[in-house]
Amino acid sequence: MKINNYSKIDDHCILSKTEQILKNTNNRYQITLQIAQLSKIHKDEEMDIVDDSKMKPIIRTILELSQNYNINQQKSK
């Protein structure tokens, strides 16, 4: 799935990605803080760039982190 394809991301996909991230971490509190901090950074970046982004920063962060976890899991196998 491409992150740039905003209109085709459904709620079920986002929920499953979030569950995947939470299952693959040892510290749920730490990953929650990481998601919040990255979302705030994404929000600030979007304010600087006049881009008509339809994706909320929290969703963008979840999708990026889930991709990172997939990459890290494939490397560890």
Give residue limits of the domains in the chain. Answer: 42-77
Q: Which two tokens stand for residue 35?
A: 């998601």
Higher pLDDT, 21 or 46: 21
Statement: the pTM of the whole predicted model exceeds 0.85: no
Higher pLDDT, 35 or 49: 35
| Residue 5 region by backbone torsions, left for phi larger than 0, else alpha for psi between -120 and 50, else beta | beta
